[in-house]
Amino acid sequence: MAEVVLKNVSKVYPNGVRAVNNINLHIKDKEFLVLVGPSGCGKSTILRMIAGLEEVSSGEIYIGERLVNNVPPKDRNIAMVFQNYALYPHMTVRQNLAFGLKLHKHPPEVIEERIKKTAEILGIFDLLDRKPRALSGGQRQRAALGRAIVRQPLVFLFDEPLSNLDAKFRVQMRAEIKKLHQQLKTTMIYVTHDQVEAMTMGERIAVIKAGTIQQISTPAFLYHNPVNKFVAGFIGSPSMNFFEGRVVEEKDKLYFQGEGIVLEVARMHTDKLRKVKGKDLILGIRPENIHLAQQAISSASSEVKGCIVRARLEIIEMMGAVTYLSFTLGGVNFNARVESSEMEGKENRPRIGEEIDLVFNSEKCHYFEKESEQAIL
Ligand code: ADP
């Protein structure tokens, strides 16, 4: 059991690329922390520095109480799981699991016992005597997980372990890794570019852009309180919609005026927005907070406080329980997400090419400064 602490850690590669820029990170004992961000943002570099596979240019890394900057990877008591499994092809799964333990000179009975326990946890008894080429992608990834588990490390490091699996199996493995975390109660650090993976797996998520941490928090907090436009747009699928505009005041009421839209600012936001009156702003609203006006008005349970916006429906995507609608308004594209039942069997159901009245839930709007892209708090 161990916490992992990064203090002012930077990484500049020999070619001059500053991959990681002065990050501070405190991963708690037994925590499942996800590092998420677009390709090239530096998340693998962070993980590889924790593993000792990449030297730190400046700053300090602690595993447990121990400063590990100069400790070789094999002595850091970590286990890493990669996207490409990295199993030895000429060895059976059993031999793959035993390999690291033999290197560390564990006695045979300990090795046998640990393999047995690990096979139990992962349900891979029947795979132990197969070689990797006789395994499916998912089975290989389970074997790779097994090789990490037998080591009983202080910290597990995962580098995009599910990227090679097909969509259905990815969902299953996601759940299995989470279950594993609950069972083993070991600190886990998990790198992915996939925000859905981050949201479903992480106890906390660190969102990274261009080598810096933008925000660290629980999935729900990040979703509801993004500190800037990048986090707002990165977390959530389909992404948050953005509109440029300004706040104006008329007869004691504040309005956001943007490209084709005028929204009355919800009372809960007026204090903070009065301070940035006239400045260039960006309004953000998630697809699920845009409703069909027809529905919002007729539904008895509707308590949606909002403003009517009229936009042209361009695309309808039926996803099952929900339907995604794409609209254009004054040259801006945006998406709404509605219950599919709202689209079914009604004479006046929305049709492609029509101008449709929508309700923007003004209480759910986010506001950012255009220049700095920071949330207005
Ligand atoms: P991510 O895992 O988020 O995709 P990486 O940590 O792999 O990002 O890379 C971060 C940045 O560092 C990228 O610009 C990448 O091109 C660069 N980089 C990664 N590894 C090396 C290397 N060995 N030498 C030089 N530049 C590298």
Domains by residue range for the chain, with CATH: 4-234 (3.40.50.300), 241-369 (2.40.50.100)
User: What would the pLDDT profile of 150-186 be if each residue is shown by its tens digit?
Assistant: 999 999 999 998 888 888 888 888 998 999 999 999 9
- Rounded average pLDDT over 49-62: 97
| Pairing outcome for strands 32-36 and 204-209 | parallel
Examine the pLDDT at 349 and tell me if it is beyond 90. Answer: no
The chain-wide mean pLDDT, for the chain, equals 92
- Rounded average pLDDT over 123-129: 92
Would you state the pLDDT for residue 1?
Answer: 67
| Pairing outcome for strands 155-159 and 78-82 | parallel
Q: Following CA atoms 103, 106, 109, 114 in sequence, which dihedral angle do they give, to the nearest 10 degrees? A: -80
- Rounded average pLDDT over 265-269: 95
User: What would the pLDDT profile of 212-261 be if each residue is shown by its tens digit?
Assistant: 999 999 999 999 999 999 999 999 999 999 999 999 999 989 999 998 89
Would you state the pLDDT for residue 331?
Answer: 86
- 306-318, strands of its sheet edge to edge: 290-292, 355-361, 306-318, 322-329, 332-339
pLDDT band at 299, cuts 50/70/90?
Answer: low
Examine the pLDDT at 303 and tell me if it is beyond 80. Answer: no
Examine the pLDDT at 120 and tell me if it is beyond 60. Answer: yes
Q: What percent of the chain has pLDDT over 70?
A: 96
Examine the pLDDT at 345 and tell me if it is beyond 70. Answer: no
pLDDT band at 46, cuts 50/70/90?
Answer: very high
Examine the pLDDT at 300 and tell me if it is beyond 80. Answer: no
- Cα separation, 67 vs 6, in Å, equals 10
- Establish whether residue 88 lines the binding site of ligand 1, counting it when its CB lies within 6 angstroms of any ligand atom: no
Pocket test for ligand 1, best of 13, 39, 191, 213 (most atoms within 8 A of CB): 13
Would you state the pLDDT for residue 342?
Answer: 85
Residue 345 main-chain phi, psi, to 5 deg: 60, 15
- Establish whether residue 45 lines the binding site of ligand 1, counting it when its CB lies within 6 angstroms of any ligand atom: yes
Would you state the pLDDT for residue 371?
Answer: 97
Structure tokens belonging to residue 30: 């037994």
Structure tokens belonging to residue 51: 């593993």
Which ranges of the chain does DSSP label H, i.e. alpha helix?
43-51, 93-103, 108-122, 137-150, 167-184, 195-201, 219-224, 229-234, 267-274, 293-298
Would you state the pLDDT for residue 344?
Answer: 78
- Establish whether residue 38 lines the binding site of ligand 1, counting it when its CB lies within 6 angstroms of any ligand atom: no
Would you state the pLDDT for residue 77?
Answer: 92
From atom 22 of ligand 1, which residue's Cα is the shortest distance away? 13
Would you state the pLDDT for residue 297?
Answer: 61
- Rounded average pLDDT over 362-372: 97
313 beta partners: 327
Q: Which of 14-18, 130-134, 139-143, 185-189 has the lowest mean pLDDT?
A: 139-143
Q: Give the atom of ligand 1 at the shortest distance from the alpha carbon of 47.
A: 6
* Closest alpha carbon to 214 in 203, 201, 199, 225: 225
Q: Which of 19-28, 45-54, 235-244, 301-310 has the lowest mean pLDDT?
A: 301-310
Q: Which residue has the higher pLDDT, 173 or 296?
A: 173
Would you state the pLDDT for residue 176?
Answer: 87
From atom 27 of ligand 1, which residue's Cα is the shortest distance away? 13
